[in-house]
Chain A
Amino acid sequence: MKARVHVTLKPGVLDPQGKAIEHALGTLGFTGVEGVRQGKVIELDLAETNPAQARKNLHDMCEKLLANTVIENYAIELDGQSAP
């Protein structure tokens, strides 16, 4: 199964890279950009065929390594279906 993990900074955590992108967009003449937050997308190919088990495994991967839950949130997308 193909999975995609989106890792984003938690609301309230300062994102200097997002701020720099926002500033650069303004410099390029893109007006009306009121906020930019930068995150990561991690794509995984899984041997697991059971979606429920795959979600559980992905959740564990996020908690242990893929995200730092002190500062980041994560969202799991499995075969194009985002998790609740």
Chain B
Amino acid sequence: MKAAVIVFPGSNCDRDVTVALRQSMHAGGGGEPTLVWHKEADFPAVDLIVLPGGFSYGDYLRSGAMAAHSPVMTEVARRASRGVPVLGICNGFQILTEAGLLPGALMRNAGLRYVCKDVHIRVESSQTVFTSKYETGQTLRIPIAHHDGNYSADDDGLARLEDGGQIAFRYCDNDGSHSSAANPNGSARNIAGIFNETKTVLGMMPHPERLADAQLGGTDGRPLFDGLIEALS
């Protein structure tokens, strides 16, 4: 199992997600994640590509807009088109939408404030390489930390996501119900994460790598990494 974590200027969760990946890799057959600088137009063959959270290019112009055109992203898009799984967390999700690898856009939070807290999200489908270690309908407690997480798409786009089973996670109450009170940022239909059509690209605003070790206060994020390593080893 080989994984690449792409590092942009301003990424700040690259090492956290590397620790989470390494933990699951060591538990599940070995391997070591590789950090890849965004200027690299090519990088070794891997089974998984991760775009980490952070503030690439200081969020200039729009969050993720500059990073989406970094040299490495041409290669990421090429591999994604061939089916290599790509996981984008927080700023990584923003980069994936700006690069056109996921539909829609992430706008300023409806409350205009940067929101940093634990939220509950519901797993909408366990039938993917990313979510196989969860149950459909399972509620997770995962931290969010973002200013631009307000998912937006037009009505047709939202209908396509629903019909295609492309909604990965939704913000919910701790009993799993999707109320507007549980929506921290105004996201359309409480969307916290989406897949591409083939479910090989996942973008999510919550940070599973921040709750992947009991010493960090919880382990609800760990099955995402364990499931990926199991499926891709």
Stretch among B78-86, B105-113, B225-233 lining the A interface: B105-113
A65 and B109 form a contact (CB under 8 A): no
B152 and A65 form a contact (CB under 8 A): no
Q: Which residues of A contact B107 (CB under 8 A)?
A: 13-14, 16, 71
B81-113 interface bits toward A, Cβ cutoff 8 Å, 1 = contact, 0 = none: 000000000000000011000011101111110
B186 and A65 form a contact (CB under 8 A): no
Given A68-B62, A68-B105, A71-B107, A14:B186 Cβ within 8 A: yes
Query: Among the listed A17, A64, A66, which residue makes an inter-chain contact with B108, where contact means beta carbons less than 8 Å apart?
Result: A17
The CA-CA distance from A49 to B138 in the complex, in Å, is 60
Given A13-B152, A14-B186, A16-B186, A68:B111 Cβ within 8 A: no
A70 and B186 form a contact (CB under 8 A): no
B107 to nearest A CB, angstroms? 7
Interface of B is mostly: loop
In the complex, chain A residues 41-84 whose Cβ is within 8 Å of any chain B Cβ: 64-66, 68, 70-71
Is the C-beta of A20 less than 8 angstroms from some C-beta in chain B?
Answer: yes
* Interface residue tally on A, bucketed by range: 10 to 19
Q: Which residue in chain B gives the minimum CB-CB distance to A38?
A: B108
The CA-CA distance from A20 to B109 in the complex, in Å, is 12
Q: Which residue in chain B gives the minimum CB-CB distance to A9?
A: B107
In the complex, chain B residues 47-64 whose Cβ is within 8 Å of any chain A Cβ: 61-62
A68 and B108 form a contact (CB under 8 A): no
The CA-CA distance from A62 to B153 in the complex, in Å, is 20
Q: Which residues of A contact B108 (CB under 8 A)?
A: 16-17
Given A13-B152, A16-B186, A65:B112 Cβ within 8 A: no
Q: Which residues of B contact A14 (CB under 8 A)?
A: 107, 110, 152, 186
Is the C-beta of B182 less than 8 angstroms from some C-beta in chain A?
Answer: no
The CA-CA distance from A79 to B11 in the complex, in Å, is 38
Query: Among the listed A20, A66, A68, A71, which residue makes an inter-chain contact with B112, where contact means beta carbons less than 8 Å apart?
Result: A20
Q: Which residues of A contact B104 (CB under 8 A)?
A: 70
The CA-CA distance from A65 to B61 in the complex, in Å, is 9
Is the C-beta of B65 less than 8 angstroms from some C-beta in chain A?
Answer: yes
Q: Which residues of B contact A64 (CB under 8 A)?
A: 69
B110 and A16 form a contact (CB under 8 A): yes
The CA-CA distance from A13 to B107 in the complex, in Å, is 10
A73 to nearest B CB, angstroms? 13
Contact residues of B with A, CB < 8 Å?
61-62, 65-66, 69, 97-98, 103-105, 107-112, 150, 152-153, 186
- 9 closest pairs, A vs B, by CB? A70-B105, A71-B105, A16-B110, A16-B112, A68-B105, A16-B108, A68-B62, A20-B112, A71-B152
